[in-house]
Every structure is written in structure tokens, then in C-alpha cells.
């Protein structure tokens, strides 16, 4: 069965802290994605990666960076967390490009105080 | 204007009702289309892909109109368990996915 896991379900951090969110998929998918989901704004793409060590900016990359050193793992980094980064963060993976299904992890609800 | 727009809802319907959701997209290069379902405090999960000829999966029917750039989802004989948020997703052939904001459905006894 398809599985995407995220390192934490809930996280509370302080303004200015460096935050790491990790995502692991066991489906040998090439593509991985990080989204944030906010009420009234839907899911917005932060970054995606289509191969190891490759990354592309999504719609809202400011304040975030990513790392993909291994095919199964995609990390989202908040270099200096701010209160406006309080959100639900969802990781997803997909085998191919356009026509394949995205599989989502359970999400990490991050609160920045 | 958003790239993908959905009926905002919420839709409140009685059990057994038929309900339809629409979604419009602005990027004519869009390649593939999906409906996802998201339960409260859960991750989105694929409900069904949408094919050019239209497709059906039990009580659910999805249709695509490329000329008018919209997709639709029809749910027949609504069940209480259908209560969720339904997300329209549009992919370009470059692999970018754009999500609609979702339409909330509540099915009441």
C-alpha cells in the first residue's frame, strides 16, 4: 500500500527558530511536493522536486528551502520561522508528471509563536 | 483571478439527494484533471480522475469540458459518509498541480 509519512503531526516553534519538516515515501516516486493549506486559501505549492538533488520553486517559496538528498526523502526547511508560517503543511509524492495521482502524507500542523 | 475556481459552497443536502460541483480552470495547457476528497483534519485523497469522455465510479460521475475549461462532479444518492470537502485539481503537462479551494458538502439525515 502507498505510504507517505511526515515526521510530526503537530509542532510548536518560536519565532526565529529553524524548523525542519521531513517527508518520506516508500513508493519509489520521482516527484515530491510540499504544500501549505490555509483556510480560504486552499493548497498552495511551496516547492517540488522531480529527482534527487533537484528542486523547483512553487507559488510561495519565500521563507522556505528544501532538500532532497535521497529519492525517498524530501525536507522542508524554515530558516527563521515567523508567525505567518503557522499553517498545515502537506507533503505529497507522485510517480510521473501530469497524469498520475498524488499521494499525500497526513500533514504537520505547525504553530509559530 | 485564480487558476482553478470552484463553487464555494457549503452545500447542505439531505440523504439521497443528487448534488453537483463545478470547477473552472484558466490554463488552456492543462493536461489532466482530478477530484480529491478531504475529510476534516485529514489529508486529501484521490476520489477519481477525470477523463475527456467522462467517467463514472459507482454513485460518482466526473465530466470534462475542454472547450469551456470546466470539470464537474456529480454525486447521486448522497450518503452521510459523503460529507467532506471536494477539491478540484488540474495538472499541466509540465507536472504542476493547481488545487481549487474546495467545496464543502454536508449530507444530513
pLDDT tens by residue, A42-79: 899 999 999 999 999 999 999 999 999 999 999 999 99
Cα–Cα dist B48/B52, whole Å: 13
pLDDT tens for B30-79 read 889 999 999 998 999 999 999 888 899 999 999 999 999 999 999 999 99
**Residue B6 near residue B23 (C-beta atoms within 8 A):** yes
Of A35, A43, A50, the CB nearest to B95: A50
Chain B CB contacts of A33 below 8 Å: 97
Cα–Cα dist A106/A90, whole Å: 7
Secondary structure of B16-77 in HEC code, one letter for each residue: CCCEEEEEEECCCCEEEEEEEEECCCCCCEEEEEECCCCEEECCEEEEEECCCCEEEEEECC
Using the Cβ of A75 and the Cβ atoms of chain B, whether some distance falls under 8 Å is answered with no
Using the Cβ of B93 and the Cβ atoms of chain A, whether some distance falls under 8 Å is answered with yes
Whether the pLDDT of residue A98 is over 90: the answer is: no
Amino acid at each position: 500500500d502507498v505510504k507517505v509519512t511526515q515526521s510530526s503531526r503537530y509542532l510548536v516553534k518560536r519565532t526565529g527558530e529553524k524548523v525542519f519538516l521531513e517527508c518520506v515515501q516508500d513508493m519509489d516516486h520521482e516527484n515530491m511536493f510540499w504544500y501549505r493549506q490555509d483556510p480560504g486559501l486552499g493548497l498552495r505549492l511551496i516547492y517540488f522536486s522531480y529527482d534527487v538533488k533537484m528542486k523547483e520553486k512553487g507559488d510561495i517559496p519565500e521563507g522556505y528551502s528544501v532538500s532532497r538528498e535521497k529519492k525517498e526523502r524530501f525536507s522542508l526547511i524554515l530558516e527563521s520561522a515567523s508567525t505567518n508560517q503557522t499553517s498545515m503543511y502537506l507533503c505529497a509524492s507522485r510517480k510521473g508528471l501530469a497524469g498520475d495521482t498524488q499521494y499525500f502524507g497526513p500533514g504537520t500542523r505547525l504553530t509559530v509563536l | 483571478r485564480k487558476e482553478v475556481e470552484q463553487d464555494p459552497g457549503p452545500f447542505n443536502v439531505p440523504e439521497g439527494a443528487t448534488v453537483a460541483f463545478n470547477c473552472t480552470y484558466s490554463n488552456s495547457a492543462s493536461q489532466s484533471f482530478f477530484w480529491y476528497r478531504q475529510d476534516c483534519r485529514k489529508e486529501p485523497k484521490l476520489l477519481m480522475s477525470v477523463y475527456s469522455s467522462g467517467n463514472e465510479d459507482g454513485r460518482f460521475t466526473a465530466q470534462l469540458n475542454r472547450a469551456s475549461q470546466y470539470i464537474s462532479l456529480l454525486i447521486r444518492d448522497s450518503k452521510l459518509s459523503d460529507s467532506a470537502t471536494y477539491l478540484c485539481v488540474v495538472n499541466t503537462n509540465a507536472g504542476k498541480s493547481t488545487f481549487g479551494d474546495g467545496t464543502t458538502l454536508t449530507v444530513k439525515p
